[in-house]
Amino acid sequence: MDLSVIDWSDIWIATWETLVMTGVSLFFTILLGLPLGILLFVTAKRQLLEQGFVYTVLSFVVNVLRSVPFLILLIVMIPVTVILIGTSLGVEGAIPPLVVGTAPFFARLVENVLREVDRGVIEACQAMGIRTHRIIFGALLPEALPGLIAAVTVTAITLMSYAAMSGVIGGGGLGDLAIRFGYQRFQTEVMVITVALLVVLVQIIQYSGDRLVLYFTRK
């Protein structure tokens, strides 16, 4: 293996692009997925704001989006992405499909985390005469915080691998580099380095997430 063929500045730019894609799409994934997950939880049967119809509709939409393989979603989303931000290429072009692909996944994770919160605690809040929105934001979410952080961690890692996949349709970042140089030009060295960098990034995300979970766990 000859590392001298590698253009390191390309690698660092691609790494930065991967981090930007992951970070920005994580932000929007949380922005959309967290409220969606909360809605799924509170409208479910025997929950705070039981709404059978709303739950069924939301749940169906989430399932539909989750059943589309991400590679297909990348392609299907191209016209939508062009309308939204003017291009379907590069770092910006990858973000809308990333968000649409992971927000429903994150919403399901949020729903499951919220279900783990002790029912008795929520009931105690109801018995105090506290309004539902205060219970959700003042008790339910703080109680679920460690679980929510763990869900964000899992989602961030999923996003990073999806971001790499977006290289196939011309998204930026390490995935793009691996496909253009490592695959199409047979530069094995580039492939090895990008994979190694992705492994390191995932480790860092997982480790930081675990530390945060521990920090916020009061049990």
Partner 1 sequence: MIRIENLRKTYRAADGREVEALTDINLEIGTGEVFGIIGRSGAGKSTLIRTLNLLERPSAGRVLVDGEDITTLDSEGLYALRRRVGMIFQHFNLLNAKTVADNIDWPLKATGQGNAAERAARVKELLALVGLSEQGHKYPSQLSGGQKQRVGIARALANRPQLLLCDEATSALDPETTQSILRLLLDINRQLGLTIVLITHEMQVIRTICDRVAVIDGGRIVESGKVVDVFLHPQHPVTRSMVAQSDALAAASFAPAHAYMSDKLRGTLVRLTYIGDVTYQPILSRIMAGAKVQVTILQGEVSSIKDVPFGQLLLELEGGEDDIRAVFAELDRHQIHHEVLQ
CB of residue 130 vs partner 1: minimum separation in angstroms? 4
CB of residue 139 vs partner 1: minimum separation in angstroms? 6
Cα within 13 Å of Cα(64), Cβ side: 6
User: What is the number of other CB atoms lying within 10 angstroms of the CB of residue 47?
Assistant: 16
70 versus 216: smaller Cβ distance to partner 1: 216
Are the beta carbons of 202 and 196 closer than 8 angstroms? no
Residue 134 tokens read as 């205060």
CB of residue 107 vs partner 1: minimum separation in angstroms? 22
48 versus 165: smaller Cβ distance to partner 1: 48
- Interface residues with partner 1 (CB under 8 A) are 118, 120-121, 123-131, 134-135, 138-139, 142-143, 145, 216, 218-219
- Identify each DSSP E strand in the chain by its residue range: none
50 versus 123: smaller Cβ distance to partner 1: 123
Residue 169 tokens read as 């349709």
Are the beta carbons of 171 and 21 closer than 8 angstroms? yes
86 versus 219: smaller Cβ distance to partner 1: 219
CA 144, CA 121: separation in Å to the nearest integer? 12
CB of residue 128 vs partner 1: minimum separation in angstroms? 4
